[in-house]
Amino acid sequence: MKPASLERVRFLVVEDNGHMTNIVKTILRGFGAVHIFEARDATEAFHRLKHDAIDIVIVDYQMEVLNGIEFVNLVRKSSDSANRFVPIIMLTAHSERSHVVDARDAGVTEFCCKPVTANELYRKVVSIVDHPRPFVKLNSFFGPERRRRTDAKYEGPERRKERRPEPSGPESDQDALNAAS
């Protein structure tokens, strides 16, 4: 994997454990990141997002006052959110399926389990930088597209409106114009 250039990427690490914050910052610096901001809780992080241009947020799941899921919901759904589209990596020791599903449903871009390794965090960051996913807005969801690839073998109905084939009539508009001339 070719190293991504991260010196211009602005990170926000949202973690209430100072030791873990230092570990994540050290890993990011090892990737060449220069602009790393930190917040000790979700309230401070939301304020940072309003006042600093942040490109990627790395947030802990388990925090006081507002947890990581509540923070993600605030970023994605609040009318006064400064950047609803900011990529968010959830960093957690809670890797149970229910936590992963909750994070996905809140609009997390990537999920990374503790103890975090430099390789795993790098893969998540590079995925965000090199392969950004479009955002989807539904009644109950706003966040990155959940599908990461297209399955050529899938034979079911297409449920994404923008990917559905155009309705076909007896003839296309161009055919009608050609026939009229």
> Residue 89's pLDDT is what?
97
pLDDT, mean over the chain: 83
**pLDDT at res. 164:** 46
Contacts of 72 (CB under 8 A, 6+ apart): 59, 88, 90, 103, 106, 107, 108
pTM of the predicted structure, to 2 decimals: 0.79
Which range, of 13-17, 38-42, 120-124, 172-176, averages the lowest pLDDT?
Answer: 172-176
What is the C-alpha to C-alpha distance for residues 61 and 17, in angstroms, rounded to an integer? 12
pLDDT at 5: 76
- Give the closest residue to 41 by CA, choosing from 25, 11, 56, 63: 63
- For residue 79, is pLDDT > 50? yes
**Confidence category of residue 46, pLDDT binned at 50, 70, 90:** very high
